[in-house]
Structure formats: C-alpha cells, structure tokens
Structure 1
Amino acid sequence: MNNKARSLLWNIRQFSTLLPRSGALRIYTLGFCRPEVIHSKWNPRNHLLNGFDEGLQPSVRYLFQDKFISKSVDGCTQTKGISHAATFKLDRILCPRRLSFDAKHSFVSDGTSDHDLMKTNFHHTSSEDVLTKKTRPTPVNYKKLAQECNSLGDVLDTFSKAPTFPVSNYFLAMWIIAKRISEDKRRFEKQLMFSHPAFNQLCEHMMREAKIMHYDHLLFSLNAIVKLGIPQNTLMVQTLLRTIQERISECDERCLSILSTALVTMEPCMNVNALREGLRILVDQQVWDIKHIFTLQAVMKCIGRDAPSALKKKLEMKALKELGNFSVLNSQYMFEVLAAMDHRSVVLLNECSKVVIDNVHGCPFKILISILQSCRDLRYQNEDLFKSIADYVATTFDIWKLKHVIFFLLLFEALGFRPPGLMDKLMEKVVQEPGSLNMKNIVSILHVYSSLNHVHKVQNREFLDALASALTGCLHHISSESLLNAVHSFCVMNYFPLAPINQLIKENIINELLTSGDTEKNIQKLHVLNTCLKLDESTYKSVHIPLPQLPLSASYPNAKLAEVLSMLLEGEGCFSRNVQLPHNYHIDFEIRMDTNRTQVFSFSDVDASSATNMQRVAVLCVPKSAYCLNSHHLRGLMAMKLRHLNGMGFHVILIHNWELKKLKMEDAVTFVKKKIYSDEVLPTTDTTV
C-alpha cells in the first residue's frame, strides 16, 4: 500500500471516531464535549468592552478547509445536491495534532462540483440541532457576572459549575467586584480567592487559552490579574507576559493603551523588561499614528525614565501637536505623565498649567496633589499655578480635612512656595482647635512653618503656644526622632517650649539619637539646638549637649564678588574671605567699618580694629534657594543664621548671586558699593580707605 493510500485511510479513521451521529460538537478546554449549533454569522473579533461575551467562540478550524465528505454514511448515499455538512471547532491546546491531507486527493463524490460546494448550507436546522442549541452553555458576561456575584468566591463558584471561554471574563468580573468593596474586605476576599479550590483550575485555563485568546482580551486579563494582587513571579503571570511578547505584532492602538496601563504597575523582571523594550520599539514606529490622547499619555507614562531621549522627544512633539485636542483631564494628567518619564517639557507644562489654572475650582484632591508632586519631581516652578491652587484651597478651607491642608502645605514647602493666606487660615484653626491635632500633624505643621519662616502678625505667639501644648500631650508616646524634629523647628522659629526640651535633652534620648536612625541628620539638628540655646534668649544657656564635631563645610566665596571688593576697597587688606565663626558658622567675606558704615578699616591697622566704634560687616553670597519662590522672604535656616550673626555683633549684607552674575564689572562695583555703605553717605573709594 503506497503512502498516499495509507494517509487517506488513517485520516478517515480519525475522522470517523470524532464525527457524531448528528449535530456538531464543541471541544472545551476542560475536555467536556457538549452539543452545539454552529452559526456562520458570528464576529470573530468581539471587543471586550462592547460585550464580547455575546456570541464569543474560539477560532473555527474546519477539518476540511475546502472539501466536504459526500459518500454513503450508514447506508445512505449523499447525492449531488448536498444541503448540510458536519463541522467541528477544535481547541488548539487539546488537539495540537492537526489532520493532514494530500492536496491531490479530494474527499468528494465524483458527481460533486466546486460550484455545488459553494452552495453548501452551514445552518443545520434539524430537530436534533434545535435541542442541542438549548443545551449549549451561554458565554458568561463579565459585567452581568460582576452584578450577580457579591464576592470573589462567588465568581469562582460560577466558574467551577460551568466553565466557558474565555476565562478572562472571570478575572475581569473579580476585579470589578474588588474595586467596589472596601480595602479591608478586599484584603480578606483576596485571601479567600487564593485558597478557593477552583482558583488553580482557573489559572490553568488562563495559561491554556492564552495562545488562542484575542490579543486585547489577553491584555485585559493581565491587567486584571496584576491588580487583583496575584504575585508577579507566578507561572501564570510569566506565561502571559511571554505570550504577549510573542504576539506583540498584533498590538494596535487600543492594545497599546491596555498594555501600557498593565506594565506601569509591574515590577521590573526579565519578561517585563523585554516587553517594555518591545513596546518602546513599537511606539517608536507607531507614535505618529496614535489618535487618542489617553493612549498617548498611557504610552508616555509606561516607557519609563530610562527610555532613549530621542523617543521621549518624539513623544513630546506628538503631545505638542495634539495640544489643541487636550481636554481638561488630559492637561491635568500630563503633569503625572511627564514626571513618570522624567522629561521636563517646559512648553508643555506651561500650556497645561494655563488649563489647570482656569479650571482649578472643583478639581479633586488627588489630581491637585498629583500635579504638585509632579512639579516637585520635575523641578518645575510656576508661581501662578501654585498660587491658584493655594487660593482655591484657602477659599474652600472649610470643606477640606486637616490632613489634606497639611499635605498641600508640605508639597508647597518642598517647592519653596509660601502661601500666606492658606497658612494664616491654618494658624487660626490651630489656635481655635488645638485638640484636633495629633502627633504627626504637629510635627508636619512645625516643619512647614519653620522652613518657610511664616509669622502671623497677630496670632504668632498663640499659635506656637497651642502647638507646644499639643506636643506636650504627646510626649508619652512620641518617638525620639519626631521629638527632635519638633524641637528643632521650634528653635528655628526662636521658641523654646520647656517640657519638650527637657524631654529631649535627657541622656538616654540623646544616646538613642546618636546611635540609631539617620545619625548624621540627627547630629546636625542637635547642633542647631545647641546653638539656639546659647545664642538666643532662652533659659537653657547653661545647657550643653556633648556632640561629635561637625566637619567644616567647604566654602568657595563668589570669585566675581571678591574681584569687585578688591576693586572697590583697593586691595584685599580691607576684607577677609571665608571666615569661620563659632557654632559651625562661616561667612563669605568680612569687612570692618565704623558704626556709621562710612569708613572701611584695614585688618592690619591694629588701632582701627580695636576702636570702640568699629562695626563688623558680614557679606554673604546667597542663592535663590535661600528665599521663598520669587520673593525676598528668607527661608527659616537663613533667617536663623542672620539672627545669630546679629547676636554675635555682625551687620549682615546679602548679595544675590543671580543678580551679580548678570551685571558687568562696572555695574557690579556700583551695586556692591550701595549695599556696603550707608544709604545716607556713599563716599568714594579714595576717601574710604
């Protein structure tokens, strides 16, 4: 018997074992065979968000692609006018071996033509098929399932009774249920989900169906699985990641959005990194074809901080091109997107800021916080944007929780922006309701007000007293570091509460701070405490905390200012550079003048330096960071330094680095001369020395 005849007989035998007496069979992934009517008019790509569960079936694989059997079966001869045929849908996983046929051999009777085969009717309308249609399981609708079930376990129970394809519906239903329940209940439901007997079976089905499932369904499944808290290192998640990699060429714009959303929440691993690299290549090719803004933003957020700068620039240009189509939500979300990809596009941020300012009223708390956090991460400072948010919060102060207001102020402090109206509102609330403060609130408020050096014109003393009283009530359970942070903030504001300081200077507390936690930062704050107790008007001048000596910070006085002083004072004998002072202070330049600041004394002139009318002048070069944003309001630590230098007998002159840098040498000499000499008398250089 030749090979062709052997192949023919083998295939007929295989087919006869599978062919039922009537109707058609669908082979399920669980191995169950159930009768089913095959419909010809079904959409092979039912979208997930448009009720893909209605009429959803796996890919149809006909045993005979273009030929049908037309021979006698059970003694009945099939005539030329064939009206129906038996077809099969086979699961690729359970039936990996496909029947093969020789193209030269046809399984059609001699009297059947190709034209007759074109008239074949796929709708089997026999009475038996009507009965099988009633027994066919209806594909599950994930939205309906989420409405009918009250817990994740209910979904798994439904799956175990009658599994249907695709199983992504069950994961989606569980995620919808998980979103609508409380955090505590969600945690409990997830524990029950992992211990449910049908959960492992559901995961096995997911892995088997991954290769035949529509690509967008596969991506939705991954997104739901990750958000349900299933560990990323499990075989199922890694299988999905690998399958998505293999089929990434099927990714369209909709799939790009789903995949980007899923990858953003995933931790780096080999498969995630490989998939992200593939996504970057795909985005680089398709960026100009993206039509939806939210898809563009999802992709921008996903590509990561380490993406090539050329790709980031291309995405920025695409966003600028679509700027006219941005909605208010798009503009608000763009801050978070740019921060996620670590790309500071000032033009894009400025345009989005205008939209945020115009629509700030009614903006949710989470969005406002996200905008401020993104500005902090991108080092983007827009005073108009910050002022509009601060004014909105101050205007609607009564509708905000205390912790929300404090959160806003912490972000403003990180941005260097001082909102006086909002800070005054909070001071009034603290004075009126000091009992509403907990320990965390107290430490945060003290940090913000000391850092931004905010002082109320009327209620400042009452405000500090209220905070000190509230802090005293928390001393029995406050940690050593929190106590140090609070007392440090009080000292910066020149306020010394007795009970907290007495608690802090205990030997066991000091030893704990010097040996645990961030010891370097603790030592610096304890040095500030020591300095304030000595130089400020406090009752603790005799207290000295033994601390390790801080290393002297390297100081590089402004070279241009040194040249200006040399020209102005005709030589370097009349000023000194980088002067180290007690209590770890140093000044950039020191000049010795008379008390009226009309005459400069030389350092070599002993008589002049010992004169009773001598005034020591400290010239400090200060950066913009020493001031609050776009203002001349000094921040807390610099204000404390000026206070202490004045206490040590210095007259302090501040020279702004950014202003001096812009001036030519002649203008710089005039600028510094006006700063040094008294406003009443501005003598020439010749008469000064």
Structure 2
Amino acid sequence: MNRKARSLLWTVRQFSTLLPRSRALRTYPRGSCRPEVIHSKWNPRNQLLDVFDEGLQPSVRSLFQEIFISKPVDGCTQTKGISHAAVFKPERRLGPRGLPSDEKQSSVSDGTSDLMKINFHHTSSEDVFTKKIRATPVNYKKLAQECNSLSDVLDTFSQAPTFPGSNYFLAMWIIAKRISDDKRRFERQLMFSHPAFNQLCEQMMREAKIMHYDHLLFSLNAIVKLGIPQNTLMVQTLLRTIQERISECDERCLSILSTALVSMEPCMNVNALRAGLRILVDQQVWDIKHVFTLQAVMKCLGKDAPSTLKKKLEMKALKELGRFSILNSQHMFEVLAAMDHRSVALLNECSKVVIDNVHGCPFKVLIRILQSCRDLRYQNEVLFKSIAEYVATTFDIWKLKHVIFFLLLFETLGFRPPGLMDKLMEKVVQEPGSLNVKNIVSVLHVYSSLNHVHKIHNREFLEALANALTGCLHHISSESLLNAVHSFCMMNYFPLAPINQLIKENIINELLTSGDTEKNIHKLHVLNTCLKLDESPYKSIHIPLPQLPLSASQPDEKLTEVLTRLLEGEGCFSRNVQLPHNYHIDFEIRMDTNRTQVFSFSDVDASSATNMQRVAVLCVPKSVYCLNSHHPRGLMAMRIRHLNVMGFHVILIHNWELKKLKMEDAITFVRKKIYSDEALPTADTTL
C-alpha cells in the first residue's frame, strides 16, 4: 500500500475518533430557540481542515450518516414557520477500518452506495485510486445556471450528494433572487416538502465544523435569505458553530456575517454572536479596508452599539470619505439611520454626492435617503430641493403612488416642494379617476398640512378630490373619512356628501369608541370649529363631543419682559388669553385701528371705542413654518384664519430670532412688529 493510501486511512481513522458515541440536540423553551450541542471537544483550527479544502471524500462522508434526523416539532415555534429537532439514533458500530459495518445504510440516498465503496487493496496507479475516492465538488454558479427551480437543485443533490452542502443552498438562493415574489413563495413551499431537503439540512449540520469559515457564513446568509425559519435546528447549529469559531473572522467574513445578522430576529445565539461581533469590530475597525464592509458592519451593530464604538466607526468613515463611491454615499444615509447616529459631517458630504448624481437614481434609493433624513432629524433643504426638482422634471415616468410617497416623506420633513405639488394638482384635475381611497386621503393630508395653494387650479383640485371621495363613500372606513374631511376643513372647503356621511350618529359613535379615540376627538373638535367660524353651510350643526382640556401654555418670559418695557407696564397687555373653541393666545394688546396707539385694559372708555383693534401676539417656533421659510403650515394657517374671524389682528414673533437678540435689540424688533403697518403676507402663505 503506497504512502497516500496509508495517509488516507489514517485520516479516516482520525475522523472516526472525532465522532462522539452519543450526540443529542435539544431546543430550549419557546422564545429562546437555542440548541445546546453536547459533543466531544473539537478544535476548529485542526489541521485536518486542509483535507476538506476541495471536497469531502465519500468514505469520510459515510461516517456522518444518520447522526442527525430533522423532523417538525410543535413545541418550538417562531414567527415564520416550521421547526426542526433532532431524533436520537442508536450507536453504530464501525468496521475495522473506521467504516460503518452496514455499508448499504450509510449511503446518503438510494443509488449512491457505489460512491461510498472504496477498494483499499487497489494496486494500480495513484491517479486511479484518487479518482475513485474523491468526489468532485459541485460548482454552485454552474448549478444555478443549469437548474430552473429550487426543487431542481434538491433533485441534483439527491442523485449524487457532494461536499460542501453550502453550494446547494447558494445555488438555490441565486435562483430565488431571479424569480418573482409569488413564484418564490411557491418554490419555498415545494422546497420544504421535497424529500431531499431534510437530508441536505442534515449534511449541512454535519459539515459545519469542518467547513471553511467563509463558506459557513455564506451558507447562513443564503439559508436566512431563502426564508428557512430561524428557530430550526440547522440555523441554530450554524449560529452556534459560527459563534465558537468567530476568531477565524477576517474582513471578508465580517462583511458576510454582518449582512446575515441584519435580517435575523433576536434570540440567544444571535445576541451572543452580535456581542462577539461588536468586540471583534472594536479591535479591527482601523484595519477594515473596504467601505462596503465598514457600512455592513455599522448597519449590523445598529442602535445597540456603544456610543464610543459608534464614534469610532464614524471617524473611520470620515477617514475613508475620499474612497466613497456614489453607492457608498447613497447607502451611508441608511447606515447611519440604522445606527441612530446623526453625523452631520458625514451626511453633509454624502448629500453633495447625491445632489450631483440625483438624475437616474432609483426610486427605492431616494426613498431610503428621505426616510433616513426623517429618522435622523437631518434637514438639508438643498438635498430635498434637488430630489423634488428631479421628480418634477421626470414626472411622467413616475407612477402616481410613487409621487404621493415622495410628498408624504417631504411632509414629515416639513419641506414644501411647490413645483412638484403643482404638477400633481394638474394631474389630479385631469385624471381624478386614477385615485383610490388611500391616495385621496394621503393627498389631502399632504396639501392641508403644507398649506399649499395653486394659483389657478386650486378650486378645481379640491372639487376633483371631493368628487373622487364621494364615489368611495360606500366602502371607506370611518377614520379615513374623518381624516379626509378634517383635511378639507383645514383648507376651508366643505364637500356636502362626505360631511353628511361623517356627521351621522353611528359614525360619530364609532369614532368616539374605537381606534385612536383621542386623535379622533381632536379632529372632530377641529371640524366643529371650522363649521362654526368658516363660511360653511353647516353653521347650525353642532356635534356633541367630550370637552378637551384647556390648551394653555406659559408665555415666553423674554417676550413678556420686552412687552413690559416697551408698553411701560403690564396694564397694556394681557397674558395667556383663553378664547372660544379651545383657542388661546400668548398676549393680547388693544390698539387703535391704525396701530399707532396702545390702550390700557383699565381704560373702559378706550376699550369700548369703535376704533379699537384687538391684537394677538403669538410667540411661535420654527415648526409652525415649512422648512427654512415663512410659509405657515396648515394648523397655523387655520389658527390665523380663525383668529381673524374672531376680530384679532395676528402678529407672529419668532422665538428663535428673539433668543438671539439682546434686550435693547429685542425691544426694537418687537416695536417694529407691533406699531408698523406690516401685515402677514396672504397671497402665498395663508388660505
């Protein structure tokens, strides 16, 4: 017997000693899903790994047969489907050469026993001997090209299983990516019911300890992406093995592991692996060379990462800014949002790249950028304008729901894009039938919240929306109807049919007893107020509602001191004035109609004069305006309109401007607001 044959026999015997006499896996109670593996000690850095570099030999593979059998278990459930557990198998006797005594039962599937037979007394050349004992590993890329479905891959595996099993999972994931969502769901069901699926899972678990670490991570990623439930024995075994061998992780493995963990739900093994990854990244962060690896790690660590580690990762990203590609810059918004780390320096630099390359940017990328800006409370008007102008310029290529989605995100950011909103208004006027209930409610919410008025088509736009809403009244929910009518009232428009439907007793009772009742009550109060104060045909209607608590607030102390000095005492103004319909104003001043003289509240004759003008002074924050403008948002515009109806002239004092001024400058600033003839712009800012 030549030297290679003796070496192979020694290898086989060594693997036979590695197998424990009894091996069992059990799952923890529901919620933990952590398998505990009871096995003999095994060194993951054993030099025998090199033998399995290219493929597992059939003689060795036969040693692992029937150690694991996966079957469904009802006791361990998770959110996504079936679960697997191990079944105890009786101890098997090994032959004198370390092979199972029953050769026929050791085959992976029917018809493959010939692959397992090895003629150890062969006397021919070494090449012939090697060909007989060595199985050629399957190429997952080639397999993915040759197969058209997940079942085809499993059929190939059942005919001639080869090492490593990860290649079959990788091939199935490549196939799954190129088919539609509906077909993918159907293929998954066929995959779970395929007779060879359990065999592949068993082989995957057996090979986990001897597989190269990057192959192991690729397997986990493919298995998770295929939708195999996380609480299955195979997934938990892979997690545990990866956890034990995490010291083998290099930069490439960091990227793969981070990508896999991002989409996994928390459990004991996942949490332990995340903790190990956090320690590993903290040690190796300055050695990471690829930006995509850095971003994958940052996204995986997420919000739970320590603030010191977040700062370290931010500094590393700033250091690599010169090597950022366009995709890196676009992706950094989502990465920082996943970490809940607001790095203005990074966001500003990435925004410049996005602005320069916004044309041709996919819908999903733009949406993720805006969503990340919202989550990070990052307001960049130039970035928002460039995206809005790009969508408006290419308006015809976008679906209506995509444009509405953009506007909804702009509304949450407080940004009003007039050009894009005018485009949509014209589209609605031309094709009102293209809107469904959800679109109608969303469009009304955006336009009422941002207080946008079209100079020409505003009335036609509101009528088109009202007619579209009327056609949907037979199947619209009560809350959607309330939201739509509330938006109409904020825009000072009162469609008859929707309001008649809303004020029915059964609809009101449903709104007061189900859903978000507090929000419903507030919106119904707004409806009551608009019906009474605005020019509506429903002034005599009153909806009985629970009384809202008084919305009193403490007036700004600096503005109080400024008015005291300016008006020479507190007798000439009143603080925190409560008005009907649950309105209140910070300060009330009584002046002549020309606003040149202030009357004292104690002067009865002056207060009853016909030329008296009541002035409401409101100290307002930036949030009542659209982003970086003096255009009031919907609620503030409605409040100004209703105060005007109640006989007040409204003066708005910006608290962020007042805080910057010294006392003398603040007095001059407020004097100009009160005594001049300056009025609020009405043509473009209010309804």
TM interval, shorter chain, is 0.7 to 0.9
Partner of 2:41: none
**Structure 1 residue 25: Cα displacement:** 11
**Structure 1 residue 159: Cα displacement:** 1.3
Q: Deviations over 1:128-185 (max 9, x none)?
A: 8527626854211111111111211111121122111111111111111111111111
Distance between the aligned counterparts of 1:58 and 1:131, measured in 2? 15
Partner of 1:291: 289
Partner of 2:583: 585
Partner of 2:374: 376
**Structure 1 residue 57: Cα displacement:** 2.1
Does the CA-based 8 Å contact 2:552-2:584 persist in structure 1? no
- Indicate yes or no: 2:570 matched with 1:568: no
Matches within 5 A, 1:422-433: 422-433=420-431
**Structure 1 residue 485: Cα displacement:** 0.6
Does the CA-based 8 Å contact 2:141-2:171 persist in structure 1? yes
Worse-superposed segment, 623-632 or 89-98 = 89-98
Matches within 5 A, 1:488-567: 488-567=486-565
Equivalent residue letter for 1:496: F
Does the CA-based 8 Å contact 1:215-1:251 persist in structure 2? yes
Equivalent residue letter for 1:246: E
Residue 260 of structure 1: SS of its match in structure 2?
Answer: helix
Residue 163 of structure 1: SS of its match in structure 2?
Answer: coil
Q: Residue 271 of structure 2: which of 273, 277, 298 is its match?
A: 273
Equivalent residue letter for 2:284: Q
Does the CA-based 8 Å contact 2:49-2:210 persist in structure 1? no
Residue 211 of structure 2: SS of its match in structure 1?
Answer: coil
Distance between the aligned counterparts of 1:583 and 1:496, measured in 2? 19
Name the CA shift for 1:97/1:210 in 2 (closer, same or farther; >3 Å).
Answer: farther
Partner of 2:312: 314
Q: Deviations over 1:418-473 (max 9, x none)?
A: 00000011111111111111111111111110000000000000010111111111
Does the CA-based 8 Å contact 2:49-2:211 persist in structure 1? no
Residue 305 of structure 1: SS of its match in structure 2?
Answer: helix
**Structure 1 residue 553: Cα displacement:** 2.5
Q: Residue 459 of structure 1: which of 436, 454, 457 is its match?
A: 457
Equivalent residue letter for 1:191: Q
Residue 632 of structure 2: SS of its match in structure 1?
Answer: coil
Distance between the aligned counterparts of 2:14 and 2:390, measured in 1? 62
Partner of 2:217: 219
**Structure 1 residue 90: Cα displacement:** 7.7
**Structure 1 residue 93: Cα displacement:** 5.6
**Structure 1 residue 552: Cα displacement:** 1.7
**Structure 1 residue 679: Cα displacement:** 3.3
Equivalent residue letter for 1:373: Q
Does the CA-based 8 Å contact 1:25-1:89 persist in structure 2? no
Q: Residue 662 of structure 2: which of 661, 664, 673 is its match?
A: 664
Residue 574 of structure 2: SS of its match in structure 1?
Answer: strand
Partner of 1:300: 298
Distance between the aligned counterparts of 1:281 and 1:259, measured in 2? 14
Matches within 5 A, 1:602-621: 602-621=600-619
**Structure 1 residue 580: Cα displacement:** 0.9
Equivalent residue letter for 1:187: R
Partner of 2:685: none
Name the CA shift for 1:125/1:488 in 2 (closer, same or farther; >3 Å).
Answer: farther
**Structure 1 residue 44: Cα displacement:** 7.2
Does the CA-based 8 Å contact 2:55-2:136 persist in structure 1? no
RMSD of aligned C-alpha atoms?
2.9
Structure 1-normalised TM-score?
A: 0.82
Number of matched residues? 595
- Indicate yes or no: 2:653 matched with 1:655: yes
Distance between the aligned counterparts of 1:494 and 1:280, measured in 2? 55
Does the CA-based 8 Å contact 1:145-1:173 persist in structure 2? yes
Partner of 1:484: 482
Distance between the aligned counterparts of 1:226 and 1:288, measured in 2? 29
- Greater Rg over alpha carbons, structure: 1
Partner of 2:354: 356
Name the CA shift for 1:612/1:148 in 2 (closer, same or farther; >3 Å).
Answer: same
- Indicate yes or no: 2:209 matched with 1:235: no
Name the CA shift for 1:19/1:167 in 2 (closer, same or farther; >3 Å).
Answer: closer
- Indicate yes or no: 2:560 matched with 1:600: no
Matches within 5 A, 1:132-143: 133=131, 136-143=134-141
Residue 494 of structure 1: SS of its match in structure 2?
Answer: coil
Does the CA-based 8 Å contact 1:44-1:57 persist in structure 2? no
Does the CA-based 8 Å contact 1:59-1:212 persist in structure 2? no
Q: Deviations over 1:250-292 (max 9, x none)?
A: 0000000000001111111111111111111100000000000
- Indicate yes or no: 2:628 matched with 1:630: yes
Query: Unmatched 5+ residue regions in structure 1?
Result: 1-14, 32-42, 47-52, 61-87, 100-123, 682-689
Distance between the aligned counterparts of 1:163 and 1:26, measured in 2? 23
**Structure 1 residue 59: Cα displacement:** 9.7
Partner of 1:415: 413
Partner of 1:258: 256
Partner of 1:105: none
Does the CA-based 8 Å contact 1:92-1:212 persist in structure 2? no
Name the CA shift for 1:638/1:267 in 2 (closer, same or farther; >3 Å).
Answer: same
Distance between the aligned counterparts of 1:89 and 1:441, measured in 2? 62
**Structure 1 residue 602: Cα displacement:** 1.2
What percent of counterpart residues are identical?
A: 87
Partner of 2:331: 333
Residue 538 of structure 1: SS of its match in structure 2?
Answer: coil
Partner of 1:70: none
Q: Deviations over 1:469-498 (max 9, x none)?
A: 111111111111111111111000000001
Name the CA shift for 1:263/1:97 in 2 (closer, same or farther; >3 Å).
Answer: farther
Distance between the aligned counterparts of 1:614 and 1:434, measured in 2? 48
**Structure 1 residue 606: Cα displacement:** 1.5
Partner of 2:189: 191
Distance between the aligned counterparts of 2:205 and 2:166, measured in 1? 11
Q: Deviations over 1:77-102 (max 9, x none)?
A: xxxxxxxxxxx868886799999xxx
Equivalent residue letter for 1:522: N
Name the CA shift for 1:235/1:370 in 2 (closer, same or farther; >3 Å).
Answer: same
Matches within 5 A, 1:47-66: 56-58=54-56
Does the CA-based 8 Å contact 2:595-2:613 persist in structure 1? yes
Structure 2-normalised TM-score?
A: 0.82
Partner of 2:246: 248
Distance between the aligned counterparts of 1:553 and 1:45, measured in 2? 74
Distance between the aligned counterparts of 2:489 and 2:285, measured in 1? 55
